């Protein structure tokens, strides 16, 4: 199959996705590289190359590929989200740039919960609590059963000297954690002998 389709960019891209999906990042990067060589305007190949570099623990290399994906297709909000998040992983010196790219992504896709949450985290790292608070409040309002935004919102309220609101969020977190524990304990547990039919 590779001999017949190996010179088709989409084949290499799909091969890269298969490797990426199984966390074989080195192989994914190679396949995406072939797709890019065959079709230098394939923005998704640059994007997933960035994802593969980030997944393999090299966020610095991911940055260049996300930037190239944005250069080719500046209307994809997900590219800005990925770039902003990976810049935030590199270190505090990149937090202002992280926030800038996340804001651009949100401008393209207003109300995107993942972008709002990522920007809130960047704002918190920059100690811009008035930026973080409304973003987190919006995410929590729309996704009240998600733990991470509530945990961060409780922290923001505490830093902003609003102990009652912080306490309310911490209590909500405890309730959600207890509900998750109950849900996990109610799942049936099968012994090894039950999983295999008798002989």
Number of CB atoms found within 10 A of residue 31's CB: 26
Q: How far is CA 192 from the centre of its chain?
A: 36
**Residues 95 and 88 sit within 8 Å (Cβ to Cβ):** yes
Q: How many CB atoms lie within 10 A of CB 195?
A: 7
Q: Which of 30, 38, 29 has the alpha carbon at shortest distance from 5?
A: 38
Q: Give the residue among 7, 2, 26, 4 at the shortest CA–CA distance from 16.
A: 26
- What is the structure's pLDDT at 192? 43
Task: State the pLDDT at residue 198.
Answer: 41
Chain-centroid distance, C-alpha 34: 25
Enter the tokens of residue 47. 């994007």
In order of their start, the domains of the chain are 1-58 (1.25.40.10)
Over its C-alpha atoms, the chain yields an Rg (Å, rounded) of: 21
How do residues 120-158 score in pLDDT, each as one tens digit?
A: 999 999 999 999 999 999 999 999 999 999 999 999 999
Q: What pLDDT is recorded for position 162?
A: 98
Task: Give the model confidence (pLDDT) of 86-103 as tens digits.
Answer: 999 999 999 999 999 999
Could you give the percent of the chain with pLDDT greater than 90?
A: 87
Residue with tokens 């985290």: 121
Question: What confidence score (pLDDT) does residue 120 get?
Answer: 98
CA-to-CA separations, 7 to 4, 34, 37, 48, 178, in angstroms, rounded: 8, 8, 10, 19, 53
Q: Which residues of the chain have pLDDT under 50?
A: 1, 190-199
The answer to whether the beta carbons of residues 182 and 175 sit under 8 Å apart is no
Among 176, 140, 144, CA closest to 157: 140
pLDDT at 84: 98
């Amino acid at each position: 199959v590779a001999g017949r389709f190996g010179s088709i960019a989409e084949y290499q891209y799909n091969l890269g996705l298969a490797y990426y999906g199984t966390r074989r990042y080195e192989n994914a990067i190679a396949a995406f590289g072939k797709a890019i060589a065959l079709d230098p305007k394939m923005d998704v190949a640059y994007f997933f190359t960035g994802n593969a570099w980030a997944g393999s623990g090299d966020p610095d290399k991911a940055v260049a590929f996300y930037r190239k994906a944005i250069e080719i297709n500046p209307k994809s909000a997900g590219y800005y989200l990925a770039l902003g998040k990976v810049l935030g992983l590199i270190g505090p010196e990149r937090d202002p740039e992280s926030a800038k790219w996340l804001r651009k992504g949100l401008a393209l896709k207003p109300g995107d919960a993942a972008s709002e949450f990522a920007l809130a985290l960047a704002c918190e790292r920059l100690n811009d609590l008035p930026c973080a608070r409304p973003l987190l409040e919006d995410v929590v309002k729309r996704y009240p059963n998600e733990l991470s935004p509530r945990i961060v919102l409780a922290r923001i309220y505490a830093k902003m000297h609003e102990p009652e609101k912080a306490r309310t969020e911490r209590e909500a977190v405890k309730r959600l954690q207890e509900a998750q524990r109950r849900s996990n304990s109610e799942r049936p547990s099968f012994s090894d002998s039950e999983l295999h039919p008798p002989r």
